[in-house]
Chain A
Amino acid sequence: NAGVTQTPKFRVLKTGQSMTLLCAQDMNHEYMYWYRQDPGMGLRLIHYSVGEGTTAKGEVPDGYNVSRLKKQNFLLGLESAAPSQTSVYFCASSYPRTSGGPYNEQFFGPGTRLTVL
Chain B
Amino acid sequence: EDQVTQSPEALRLQEGESSSLNCSYTVSGLRGLFWYRQDPGKGPEFLFTLYSAGEEKEKERLKATLTKKESFLHITAPKPEDSATYLCAVQVSENIRTYKYIFGTGTRLKVLA
B32 near A111 with CB under 8 A, answer no
Chain B residue at minimal CB-CB distance from A109: B43
Residues of B near A40 (CB, < 8 A) are 105
- A positions within 8 Å CB-CB of B: 4, 33, 35, 40-45, 48, 50, 56, 59, 90, 92, 97, 99, 102-111
**Which B residues from 60 to 113 make CB contacts under 8 A with A?**
87, 89, 91, 93, 96-101, 103-106
The number of residue pairs between A and B whose CB atoms lie closer than 8 Å in the complex comes to 58
Kindly identify, within residues 34 to 68 of chain B, every residue whose CB is under 8 Å from any CB belonging to chain A: 34, 36, 41-46, 49, 51
Residues of chain B touching chain A, judged by Cβ–Cβ distance below 8 Å, are 4, 31-32, 34, 36, 41-46, 49, 51, 87, 89, 91, 93, 96-101, 103-106
- Smallest CB-CB separation from B9: which chain A residue? A40
Residue among A42, A44, A97, A110 having the largest count of chain B Cβ atoms under 10 Å: A42
Chain B residues with CB under 8 Å of A110's CB are: 41-43
Contact A90 B44 (CB under 8 A): yes
Q: Would B31 and A42 count as touching, CB distance under 8 A?
A: no
